[in-house]
Amino acid sequence: MVDRFAIRLTKEDGAPIAVKQFGPGGLVLRGDGDAWPRGAILEFYPTADVTRMQIAQVRQAQSISEYHLAPFKATDGALGFRGPARNSIPAGFYRIRLRATQLTLPVAFRNIEIKQAGPNVFDLPVTSDPRQVVLAPGLTDPQFDHRIKHLVSAAGPPGHEDLVRLDGAPIPAWLQDPHVNAERRACVLNLAAKLRAIDSPDRPLIEDVNYVFFVDFERMYVGVKSSFRPHLDALTTASEFYCEGFPVDSETHLRLVTRVRDAGLEPPDAGFTLTSYRQEGDDCMQAVVAQFASGNCYADLDIDLGNPLQDIRGFFIHMSELGDPVGLTDHLSLHDQLAAQTGTKNYLQYQVV
């Protein structure tokens, strides 16, 4: 029996990929900036009967119904895995597959041999995504939509001006930096196009958004005006949105509240309500609004491939998304789908190259 083994992520040239954090909360790479941890799952199967028998003996000795590995960040930056107890991983042959959010990894399972004498560190290549985001027109071009430009250039609230810096950079510079993850940049631009295209007789929805203060791989957090939620209520009445109430996937959306409190925007014990709205149709925007006792409002915005509140088709599309714990909306691929939508296509201010 051994205590642990490790997987080292590598680039195509064999150079190791630096891991900043790894544990039960997920995986953070050095280049991920201030995004939430990526989801990561290791599938781990013994290939010999004797190894399976030894694992069954560990389960019996530890009185556990399932054998799980515990993730940790190894000292050399690799992804470490421990058994359910000290020295509880049998030496032997295994088939493994690592799945991680927004990482292109080998599809086929890999065969490894865990040896009693170690060192039991296995390289796993990651394929780089060649796609990039290029603003088109440029941010200084008069053709760039002025409302979207105003949003991405907006300052934070008084006393929190630095809140709108992403990975330490002003958002306009961040959007044009080729070293920033392209998925995150596409996420901002796709959601901005959605906000701009959702128009009611008096104003587009984007005018109820004050500033952007966080961007993940598939969602962004924004500070909104007190008129944002009534505007969504009006769109619900017009059957352009559906009101879900308290979000079903509350764990994900409560991260908005955590971020707001961590930023010092609201006291740690401030009361709040959380209300989810979903746009009609496919590739629809979801807006989860957090309204605090102070009267301040913030929203978690993302795009779902289907609306589970609209019809059975949308329900099954959305359930398939939720059923994949490491799968996220591919915002780079979403560009062409949004470009086919009436309205939204007019406000996609970038190209995928």
Residuewise pLDDT in 10s, the chain (353 residues): 999 999 999 988 889 898 999 988 889 998 888 899 988 889 999 999 999 999 999 999 999 999 999 999 987 889 999 999 999 999 999 999 988 888 888 767 899 999 998 889 999 999 888 899 999 999 999 999 999 999 999 999 888 888 899 999 999 999 999 989 999 999 999 999 999 999 876 789 999 999 999 999 999 999 999 999 999 999 999 888 999 899 877 888 999 999 999 999 999 999 999 999 999 888 889 999 999 999 999 999 999 876 655 555 554 444 455 445 555 678 999 999 999 988 899 999 999 99
Dump pLDDT digits (tens) for 259-293: 999 999 999 999 999 999 999 888 889 999 999 99
Q: How far apart are CA 21 and CA 100, in angstroms?
A: 13
Examine the domain organization and report whether 27 and 83 are in the same domain.
yes
Residue 112 tokens read as: 């490894």
Examine the domain organization and report whether 316 and 197 are in the same domain.
yes
Beta strand residue intervals within 126-279, DSSP E? 133-135, 165-166, 169-170, 209-215, 219-224, 241-245, 272-279
**pTM, 2 dp:** 0.86
Number of domains in the chain: 2
Closest CA to 158 of 229, 223, 255, 230: 223
Examine the domain organization and report whether 114 and 154 are in the same domain.
no
Q: How far apart are CA 297 and CA 289, in angstroms?
A: 7
Q: Which domain holds residue 32?
A: 4-125
Dump pLDDT digits (tens) for 53-103: 999 999 999 999 999 999 999 878 899 999 999 999 999 999 999 888 888
Residue indicated by tokens 């039960």: 24
Closest CA to 181 of 133, 137, 136, 148: 133
- 324 alpha carbon, distance to own chain's centre: 12
Judge contact between 6 and 71, C-beta under 8 A: no
DSSP state of 227: T
Closest CA to 210 of 161, 139, 261, 274: 161
3-state secondary structure of 209: strand
Examine the domain organization and report whether 121 and 168 are in the same domain.
no
Examine the domain organization and report whether 162 and 248 are in the same domain.
yes
Examine the domain organization and report whether 247 and 290 are in the same domain.
yes
Examine the domain organization and report whether 8 and 72 are in the same domain.
yes
Where does a domain end: 125, 158, 186?
Answer: 125
Examine the domain organization and report whether 138 and 50 are in the same domain.
no
Examine the domain organization and report whether 230 and 346 are in the same domain.
yes
